[in-house]
Amino acid sequence: MKKPPVIWLNAIVLLALPAFSIILIPAYAFVNGYDAFEWSMFFLFLVLTGLGITAGYHRLWSHRSYEAHPVVRVFLAFLGACGLQNSILIWSSDHRRHHKYVDDNEKDPYSAKKGFWYSHMGWILRDYHPGEKDFSNVKDLQRDPVVMWQHRNYLMLALLGNSVLLIFIGWLHGDLWGVFLLAGLFRIILNHHFTFFINSLAHIIGKQSYSEKNSSRDNMVLAFLTYGEGYHNYHHCFQCDYRNGIKWFHFDPTKWFIRGLSYVGLTSKLRKTPKIRIEKARLRMQYLRTVQRLEQGLAPANLKLSLEDSYVQFQEALVAFSKFKKEWVQLKKAEFQEKWEKTQLKMQYLELKAELRIQKQKWRMLYSMLSRSKEFG
């Protein structure tokens, strides 16, 4: 079968530049060295352009998980262009198609089912989908003036951020090449592969804590390299959540950036998945994994029944509590206060909350016991 034609510009950027960098960056370090200012510029540009992709291209425009002030939108559009990962419009169109057809080798533009190399960067190097770009899935973005401004001026913005700005900073510092090699070349290469890791490794290595319906994985190590994007199974399950890491200890600087800007009014309408939905998804996966372990270990029937009963009871408690909370939200504030004082609503809330806590504890104890069991592992 004949391979699709190589996209030579992409091949030069993704293959030739790293090949030259392997020689140039260490050689310059040996001859001249890099000082603290040059390293600080490297880290600053690395993080800022990385956030341009994660907070901008991904969570703002691809998934519309929050809204941002026009100044923030322009800033993120510029930083994203500096990341050299194509325009917002093209990037978001590909990404939405990936989510809609994940793991479909024909329709997913970077399907992990085609192997590590293809999903990592192979899909960019050859023209696998010739013809005019289909933007039917990003009509909302075509109405966004910032997106279309960046799309029309992408090359100019990329050159401005990656050459003119860096050359100017290097000239002010007195070492043009040191700044350009670290904050320009080295930074671009790293951020490219940090993004590519999500398309490849985050579909190969890690845990499926929320869904087994696609190949996405949660990988805490990748979160440190990708500004919090490593919790990928969660993201595929709840793609419109502005967070990827939902626990307090999860490393998700993109989430912190978005939330931090909300405190000063620069971002708003941050979308969060209800805790009940998250808990139900996690519970379902724990149940499926445990049942599989028990079946492989030929567990006694009474143990399977105990697990199923606990699962059903926990689910019922979640549903009851969720239903109550929905009714609670629907009540007007004045009506709610009156009912709270004059009816059994408060008692009902406390009873449901206590029942949910009991069922959660029972489930965790049983799940923990079975997970540690050697007899049925």
pLDDT digit string, tens, across residues 280-293: 888 778 777 776 66
**Rounded Cα distance, 242 and 272, in Å:** 6
Q: How confident is the model at residue 349 (pLDDT cuts 50, 70, 90)?
A: low
Q: Over 50: is that where the pLDDT of 76 sits?
A: yes
Beta-strand pair 267-268/67-68: antiparallel
Residue partners of 220: CB distance under 8 A and separation at least 6 = 230, 231, 250, 251
Q: Over 70: is that where the pLDDT of 127 sits?
A: yes
pLDDT digit string, tens, across residues 232-258: 999 999 999 999 999 999 999 999 999
Arithmetic mean of pLDDT over the chain = 86
Cα maximum dimension of the chain: 81
- What is the pLDDT at residue 275? 86
**Rounded Cα distance, 121 and 193, in Å:** 8
- What is the pLDDT at residue 302? 54
pLDDT digit string, tens, across residues 255-305: 999 999 999 999 999 999 988 889 888 877 877 777 666 666 645 555 565
Q: Over 70: is that where the pLDDT of 39 sits?
A: yes
For residue 149, what are its two tokens?
């401004």
Q: Which residue has the higher pLDDT, 326 or 73?
A: 73
pLDDT digit string, tens, across residues 182-225: 999 999 999 999 999 999 999 999 999 999 999 999 999 999 99
pLDDT digit string, tens, across residues 131-158: 778 899 999 999 999 999 999 999 999 9
Nearest to 3 by CA among 91, 94, 176, 127: 127
Q: Over 60: is that where the pLDDT of 369 sits?
A: no
Q: How confident is the model at residue 342 (pLDDT cuts 50, 70, 90)?
A: low
Q: For 268-303, b where at least 16 C-beta lie within 10 A, e where not — what string?
A: eebeebeebebbbbebebbbebbbeebeeeebeeeb
Instruction: Tell me the pTM.
Output: 0.84
**Rounded Cα distance, 44 and 38, in Å:** 10
Of the ranges 7-16, 78-87, 328-337, 354-363, which one carries the lowest mean pLDDT score? 328-337
**Rounded Cα distance, 251 and 237, in Å:** 19
